[in-house]
Amino acid sequence: MAIGSAVQRGNSVNVYNERGVMLFSKVGELIGYTGATVTIRRGNQAITYSDKGIQKFCKVCS
């Protein structure tokens, strides 16, 4: 199911589908999202998750 929105709520990011149903929530700071992925900063890492909440990529940020 495609990602409709991602919203920062305190120290968590809630990810919703196009119908507004929550798909998953992760701790961190929202960097951005597309219809297929969400990227969240946690510490010095930028972590990209799929629409199912599975980690796809991780990059260490300076």
φ/ψ of 39, rounded to 5, equals: -115, 130
Q: Name the pLDDT band for 8 (thresholds 50, 70, 90).
A: very high
Residues in Cβ contact with 10 at an 8 Å cutoff, skipping those fewer than 6 apart: none
Q: What is the pLDDT of residues 14-52, one digit of tens each?
A: 999 999 999 999 999 999 999 999 999 999 999 999 999
Q: Name the pLDDT band for 62 (thresholds 50, 70, 90).
A: low
Q: Model pTM?
A: 0.92
pLDDT of residue 1: 74
